[in-house]
Structure 1
Amino acid sequence: MRRVSKIAAACFASAALALTASGCGEASTESTTTESTGAADGKLKIGMAYDVGGRGDNSFNDSAARGLDKAKAELGAETKELTAKHGETPADREARLASLAKGGFNPVVAVGFAYKDTIDKVAPQFPKTSFGLVDSISDAKNVDNIVFTEEQGSYLAGVAAALKSKDGKIGFIGGVDLPLIKKFAAGFEQGVKETNPKASVQIQYLTTGTDLSGFGSPDKGKGAAEGMLDKGVDVIYTAAGGSGAGAIEAVAAKKGSWAIGVDSDQAKDPALKKYASVILTSVVKNVDTGVFELAKSVKDGKPLTGTHTYSLAEDGVSLTTTGDHLKDIQGKLDEAKKKIVDGQIKVNTTT
């Protein structure tokens, strides 16, 4: 079944989100050599290929894992989970996805932009298998592209930052200067400046080009945040995977400063819980919704294909309210959200 976004004319998500800091896994050792639909016995079998960090990263991968857990609980699915390794090759990713398809898992879900080229190559080899690609877009006919309007959630974070900052000095730290991360920066900067035209936003990326270490280097995140704080910045939004933990730690050491998290509710992250009082909010993407909807569509015999942009209107992106730090400005955030949903505010995707 071909599917398109409800707001496709307005929003098109183009790339994907960040890798995270830790954890590793091995490619599957499945020896099966023929494709199976995974439905011969009526049992839904879901294969999940995580990005680096995997289940337990308290961030992007865990959001996908929640969708998998829901499919297990509500659809009775059997599951297999594999995780990317640091420094692996394209052949490693290809082997991981192929092993799941050969093992009869259907759908096979690839979490993160790093799988885009792999999906392009592997999905056509297994036309009876439905693939899910989170945070990037493939033209393969049997792929469900699960993408988000990160810039819209980031715009709201910018509104919050502008309203909470004392002097209008605000910072954004991106893991790598990729198009996807630039969407976060663009939306955030626009939200800040349309709320407080006198405010300034300092934007810094931890690494550039093909160096993806900016997504898994808390020390780099901490150093960048400390540099901003030393210059008077008092609100810092970090979209940098595992590097964000370092930035949050730095903010917590600077009295009167706020951190804004990303991907999952970072105030509830066990590793960051001690810093919850300084985490103003987090911009979350509900990857679990996309994963579950794909799984259900396969079980129903009508597998989703094409691209669905999970938008602010669908609560595909949102701000967390843990700690009630937004309580005093919630009305203004609701107003901004309504204007985005109604089309009165067009959010930038590039700075």
Structure 2
Amino acid sequence: MKSVSIIILLCLFSGLLCLPVVGETSNKPLVDVIYSGGKGDHSFIDSAYRGLIQAAEKYSFTTQEYSILNASADPVPQLNGPEGETPAMVLLVGNPLTSMAQEIADSHPTLPVVALDSDSLVGNNTKTVVFPMYGSSYLAGIIAAGETRTGKVAVVAGRDNALMSEFIQGFSQGAVQSGKEVLVSTAYVADDNSGYWSPERAKEIARDLSANGTDVIFTVAGGSGMGVIEYARNTSGMKVIGVDSDQSVVGPEVVVASVLKNLDQVVYNEISSVIEGNFTPGVELSGLADNGSGIVFNPNFGNLSSLITDRFGEAAEAEDRYRS
């Protein structure tokens, strides 16, 4: 019989929440997953977690999961398993973990380190997967322009940085190219990474935007987006375009569509590559044209599939121009 080790580890210091999930440890590779934020956001982190679950359904491995709430202050988690086993790989999810990912790669030069939505890492043991989001956000802008009754739409972003700028510019350009006269505004939840998990602040911003006549909001703020959706559920005429996961499940009456990063598939693929022995280092772009990003619509608001199909090529070309 294989030995079974069950560990519950809770580390609450410097804002670090460590939640390892450890099962049978004998003869199984260990996969460490570090999230920028916590599960349950119905967005970015949950999408990555779905990929971990999918991989676990096919492959036999042990997992340690960590949630980092303050990447600039929190220490690197303990990577070795409870029996001292070395991880087969470390997967880091979220741009705020770029520096941590590079530190781990430098300290463990033979350990595969995969960073998703990160700045590019250096080293022969690193893989960076970047998700260009201009094209799918462009489609979201077209949809928002078609849904607004006031002619005012907005983006609520987690913080002001290059990653958010790609969403904002794509959305704004899509709205402009929709053929309708639309005013696009932008609001930021915070000036640091707390903007990705501050739903109450995002809810306040949605209230202010609504007071100014905005009736469609594209939320690009991770877990903070739940605050926007909550406000919309209680406000007549307000609609939302979600992000990272299909958020119509938490707002079926208000979420018109959701812009997706297909993190689940990428997480699955990267774990598979390490376990099957074909890990390839480097930088990979996974955007609209190659199904790394996309958009899903809520059928409660009508069938938008023909609009998405008709404008898909236009959006993909716009993304290529933006990235070039």
CA contact (8 A) 2:16 2:70 kept: no
For 1:227-246, what aligned pairs fall within 5 Å after superposition?
A: 227-246=208-227
Alignment correspondent of 1:48 = 33
Alignment correspondent of 2:102 = 120
Say which of 150, 166, 186 aligns to 1:183: 166
Instruction: Tell me the amino acid that sits aligned with residue 72 of structure 1.
Output: A
Whole-Å Cα distance in 1 between the matches of residues 52 and 253 of structure 2? 31
Whole-Å Cα distance in 1 between the matches of residues 92 and 281 of structure 2? 14
- Cα distance, 1:229–1:196 mapped onto 2, change above 3 Å: farther
Instruction: Tell me the amino acid that sits aligned with residue 226 of structure 2.
Output: A
Superposed displacement of residue 218, structure 1: 1.5
For 1:331-342, what aligned pairs fall within 5 Å after superposition?
A: 331-341=306-316
Alignment correspondent of 1:66 = 50
Alignment correspondent of 1:135 = 117
CA contact (8 A) 1:155 1:347 kept: no
Whole-Å Cα distance in 1 between the matches of residues 74 and 147 of structure 2? 47
Report the TM-score when normalising by structure 1.
0.79
The answer on 1:26 being equivalent to 2:26 is: no
Percent identity, aligned pairs only, is 29
Q: Secondary structure at the match of 2:289?
A: helix
Say which of 265, 280, 283 aligns to 2:246: 265
Instruction: Tell me the amino acid that sits aligned with residue 308 of structure 2.
Output: L
- For structure 1, the 5+ residue unaligned runs are 1-22, 29-39
CA RMSD after TM alignment? 2.6
Question: Which one scores higher on RCO, CA 8 angstroms, separation ≥ 6?
Answer: 1
Whole-Å Cα distance in 1 between the matches of residues 320 and 209 of structure 2? 29
Alignment correspondent of 1:152 = 135
CA contact (8 A) 2:156 2:220 kept: yes
Q: Secondary structure at the match of 1:133?
A: strand
Whole-Å Cα distance in 2 between the matches of residues 346 and 300 of structure 1? 32
For 1:1-351, what aligned pairs fall within 5 Å after superposition?
A: 25-26=17-18, 41=27, 43-53=28-38, 55-84=39-68, 86-87=69-70, 89-90=72-73, 92=75, 94-96=76-78, 98-99=79-80, 103-136=85-118, 137-208=120-191, 211-268=192-249, 273=250, 275-327=251-303, 329-341=304-316, 343=317, 346=320, 348=322
Superimposed CA distance per residue, residues 70-114 of structure 1 (whole angstroms, 9 cap, x where no aligned partner) = 211112222221222x3465451x234x44697321121011112
For these two proteins, the number of residue pairs brought into alignment is 304
- Cα distance, 1:330–1:184 mapped onto 2, change above 3 Å: same
- Cα distance, 1:245–1:347 mapped onto 2, change above 3 Å: farther
Superposed displacement of residue 153, structure 1: 1.4
Instruction: Tell me the amino acid that sits aligned with residue 101 of structure 2.
Output: I
CA contact (8 A) 1:258 1:280 kept: yes
Superimposed CA distance per residue, residues 275-296 of structure 1 (whole angstroms, 9 cap, x where no aligned partner) = 3211111111111111111111
- Cα distance, 1:315–1:233 mapped onto 2, change above 3 Å: same
Alignment correspondent of 1:4 = none
Whole-Å Cα distance in 2 between the matches of residues 58 and 166 of structure 1? 27
Report the TM-score when normalising by structure 2.
0.85
